[in-house]
Amino acid sequence: MQDDTAVYLHPPVAAEFMEEVETADTKPPQVRLAFRVAYLGTGFSGSQQQPGIRTVEGVLIDACIRLGLIDDFRSAGFVAAGRTDANVSALGQVVAFSTPYPERAVSNLNRMLPFDCWCTGWAQVPQDFHPRYHARSRTYRYIFPSSGLDRIAMEEASSHFVGIRDFTRLSRLEEGRDPIRFIYSSRVFAEDDVIVYEVMGKSFLWNMVRGMATLLLAAGSGLISPDRIEEIFSEKGDRIPAAPPDPLILWDVDCGIEYHPLAPSDSSACRFAEEERRLLTRRKMVMWLGGDRPDVPWKKEVHDKLGDLL
C-alpha cells in the first residue's frame, strides 16, 4: 500500500547528534526518538501501562526515568503504536518519546531493560511523530502446532479474511469503535514443525486476530469447512471465542521508518539462552507424558469452547 508517509533516513548515532552540556542557563533541546521494541509476552500483563502491574510500557518508562532521559511519560510524549494483551509477544512494536539526551538513550536503554524486553532499532523522527497514527500497516503472526491440522484447509480459510470486512463477531468490540477493517493480506504457511498464520492490515480490533485464529483452527481441525467463514461474516450471532494469546506475536508495525539496529544486552542474551533450554526440556517432557501429541489438550479445549457456535 502506498501513501504519503515520509521515510526517515538517518546517519549513525555519533554523527546524528552530540549531547550538549547542560548549564544553569541552558538545557539541551528535545529530540524525538522512535524505538522498535521486542518482548516475550508471558512475563507481562499486557503492553499498556497500568499501576501496580508489570507491563511493557511500564518497564520501558521506568528504564527511561532511571536513566534520566525523561521526567515523566506525559511530558515526554511517550506513546506506542498499539496495545497487546497479556501473554502476547512482539517483534516489531514501536514506541516514541522526546528526550534531551538521545545519545544516552541509544547507548544505554537496552542495558536498563529486563531480559524479556529489548529495543532492536532506533531512529530520530519529527516532533509530531506518533507511531499509532503514522502506522501504514500492522502485521501479526499466530503459531499453530502442525500435528493434527489440515494446512491446506487453513490456507483456503485464511483467504476469506482479505478485503473490507465487518469483524463484529470476531472481536471484543469497544463502544464507539468501527467494526469495519481492511485486511491487506492473509496467508498460512509451514515453518519447521509449526503452522504459521500471518495477517496484515491497517488496524485491528481487540481480540480480532485471536478470533480469526479460532476459525482457522476450526477449519484445520475439520470442524468447519473453509467457506463457512463467509457465512459467519454475513450472519448475526454470538462472538467467536478468542484463541489463546500465547502463540500470538505483533510481528511488525510499518511506520515508514528505517531503523539503526540495536543489540540486546549481554545479560538478556544469556537469559534467553536459558529460556530456550528450558522450553526444549519442557517440550521433551510433554512429548513423553502426552504421547507425542502436545496439541491435543489445547485443541480439545478450543473445541469445547466452540460448541454449537459454528
HEC-encoded secondary structure of 276-303: HHHHHHHHHHHHHHCCCCCCHHHHHHHH
Annotated active-site residue in 72, 85, 238, 304: 85
β-bridge mates for residue 97, sequence order: 33
Distance in angstroms (rounded) separating the CA atoms of residues 181 and 290 = 40
Show the cell assigned to 159.
483467504
Distance in angstroms (rounded) separating the CA atoms of residues 192 and 146 = 9
Q: Which residues have CB under 8 Å from 107's CB, separation 6+?
A: 13
H-type alpha helices, the chain: 13-16, 56-66, 102-112, 151-158, 208-220, 228-234, 266-289, 296-306
Residue closest to 299 by CA, chosen among 143, 157, 88, 149: 149
85 in active site: yes
Question: Which active-site residues does the annotation give?
Answer: 85
